[in-house]
A and B are shown apart, each in its own frame.
Chain A
Amino acid sequence: MFRRVLIANRGEIATRVASTLQQMGIAAIGVYSDADRHALHVRSMDEAYPLDGNTASETYLRGDKIIEIARRHRVDAIHPGYGFLSENAHFAERCADAGIVFIGPSPAAMRGVGDKVAAKGAFAAAGVPTLPGWTGKSTADAQVIVDEARRVGYPLLVKAAAGGGGKGMRLVCEERELRPSIEAASREAGSAFGDPRVFFERYLPKARHVEVQIFGDHHGHAVYLFERECSIQRRHQKILEESPSPIVDRDLRRRMGEAAVRAARAVSYANAGTVEFLVDENGDFYFLEVNARLQVEHPVTELVVGHDLVAAQVRVAAGESLPFTQESLTQTGHAMEVRICAEDPARDFLPSTGRIEQYIPPTARNIRVDSGVAAGSEVSVYYDSMLAKLIVWGRDRQESLRRMDWALRRFVVLGVTTNIEFLRALVNDPDVAAGRMHTQFLQEKSVAPLAADHEDLASAVAVIAVQRSSRAASDQKHVASAVAGHTDPWRDAGAWRSCTR
């Protein structure tokens, strides 16, 4: 087993991975940018070393700096977390060249699933259902493309072959938009990924996003750890994730799981990965893409299967067999996750930066908070806005929803604006409670904020706060004009509504 593992990441995932490593008796070695010098993840490590600079491209994306630190400090393996270098096959190769194990799939498997056109072809050949579409290599023959689009049917979605995160993606509703959309998507893909190839496939407007956690090892084992539904999204970012999915029954679960394992085997996938599917209103499912890494939402699976996925990643990377078999895995109860982000729902989810003055996560049985911040942390402009993940487990979905509401109501974050109240309104939404969700949910529907009943008490607290700080400033017993006018951003903004474009 490894003795020293470097975590090439920051925030909650770096802290979460460190905790598992340390509990396995492995030293956790961290890296940090200038802005993160006092970050929570740095103090969670056994040792941490600086990556000079602030932007991601100066720091957490600098594979060369990270490998140099790993060498100098005698690291056996690197855990990439998610994002940053986690799906960078070239980085994985350079780790191998330096004699360091990359905790993740092989570079060949990463490349196999990273090219969406190639992956779609390989998985279709392995019997994984895919959406009807066109994956032609050339956009030169305009008539061929138009004919193909007619065959597929509108609306259709143009995507980048090397894509991700919504870049190089265009929704095409009618024929006259086809050519300009393909050209625009291709330009965007070229500049974002250095690869202008695009393809298109049928667009499913009311589809649900259901993904399957897969795990393979170097001994030929591959299993699925059931599904997660992540249909509630905003601009392709997942907001609420759960397992099991309210629409997946035992038969669909088995069929999706087996399809995902066939996909894993098609590329000899060893380590944790996720096969994403869309499920339409008829319960038919179609392959979307593979994420060749640990997902943000992996704790949802951990809570229903009772296994630590990071520990399993480390064991598999060290050459051990998978610590579970398909027959030994069970999905018990229901788990749900929300992402606590520093963003302002009243201002179209604009990121909020600043110092976290108060941070009090909820604590109770069956509530897990994976935090990337603590009181006193600075939320900077350099990295994404996720502060923490709140995950709950319940015996069933209704218990999870009630527990999530309870936990969100007690989660105190002051200093930056967060989406906590929005999330609480979301889990109280009647459609969410009934499991009526699809990927366009937040585009089509506004979520009504919950009533805030204690304005008068808040006014008194505001007065106390003024009085207290003024007393401290002047050492006087009495204070003069403390006048507070209440502003209500939620009311001003009306109901929360995601931007529709």
Chain B
Amino acid sequence: MKAFLAIAGGTPMEVELQEAGAREPDRFILRRGDQREEIDVFRTGAASGLIHRAGRTFEYHAVRYDRSIRVWIDGHIYDFQLATPGAAGRTVHTVQTEDLKAPMPGTVLQVRVNEGDAFTAGQPLVIMESMKMEMTLSAPHPGTVGGVLCSPGQLVDAGAILVRFASTEEP
């Protein structure tokens, strides 16, 4: 199970993907305040698909840029910025269920935990630099370090596992 946080129109919304495996469509759960809604997403292409919601089907198309995503639904364009954890200006929460991964390609500057360490939610674990910006990758939830898979100075790709968590607690 994976959960993400999106800020739409200033309101935080949790987007959770139910584990779909090979099954299509993927089911997503949207939570906004105490509202909960399930939507089914059927992919028709690399960046296109259909969303089924309460009897209506919406076509979507998306384009991914380095730090932003543009989405087309029903004649409207929606722009999203990818938040950089720890970046100044905007407070964002990363919601994460297992392992700390590099959100974008970059260089590891510091690793602040060792294998076996217990950590609390929000504790800085790794500092990275990417596109001349420093990012603090913090623990999304309390846990224990199962393994450190990176070292200072190392170049990492987006999605590379930096710290493996020994135990996963749902946020």
Contacts and interface: CB of A to CB of B under 8 A. Distances in A.
Given A466-B64, A478-B2, A408 B75 contact: yes
Contacts of B94: 480-481, 483
A480 B101 contact: yes
Nearest to B91: A485
A465 B68 CA distance: 10
Contact of A479 (B2, B32, B51): B2
Contacts of A478: 2, 97-99, 101
Nearest to B161: A476
Given A461-B51, A484-B81, A455 B9 contact: yes
Interface string A448-481: 0010111111111111111111110110101111
Interface in B56-74: 58, 60-64, 69-74
B106 to A, nearest CB: 13
A360 interface: yes
A460 B39 contact: yes
A456 B61 CA distance: 15
A415 B72 CA distance: 11
Contact of B6 (A357, A471, A484): A484
Interface residues of A, number: 50
Given A460-B39, A474-B101, A358 B61 contact: yes
B8 A458 contact: yes
Contacts, number: 199
B76 to A, nearest CB: 4
A424 interface: yes
A483 B6 contact: yes
B82 to A, nearest CB: 6
A57 interface: no
B90 A485 contact: yes
A326 interface: no
A461 B80 CA distance: 10
B149 to A, nearest CB: 12
A465 B62 contact: yes
A358 B80 contact: no
Nearest to B83: A483
A309 to B, nearest CB: 31
A252 interface: no
A370 interface: no
Contacts of A486: 6-10, 78-81
Main secondary structure of the interface of B (DSSP, over half): strand
Contact of A480 (B30, B48, B100): B100
A152 to B, nearest CB: 47
A458 B77 CA distance: 9
Contacts of A465: 47, 62, 64, 69, 71
A473 B159 contact: yes
Nearest to B53: A457
B46 interface: yes
Contacts of B97: 478
Nearest to B97: A478
Given A474-B159, A485-B83, A357 B76 contact: no
Given A460-B51, A461-B51, A479 B73 contact: no
Nearest to A488: B9
Contacts of A483: 4-6, 82-83, 85, 92-95
A24 interface: no
A421 interface: yes
A483 B85 CA distance: 8
A484 B80 CA distance: 6
B117 interface: no
A340 B10 CA distance: 31
Contact of A458 (B5, B71, B82, B95): B71
17 contacts: A358-B61, A360-B61, A409-B75, A424-B75, A454-B58, A454-B74, A459-B78, A459-B80, A462-B71, A463-B15, A464-B62, A465-B64, A467-B4, A479-B101, A480-B96, A484-B81, A486-B79
Given A454-B58, A456-B8, 8 more contacts: A458-B73, A461-B71, A463-B28, A464-B49, A469-B64, A470-B101, A481-B101, A485-B7
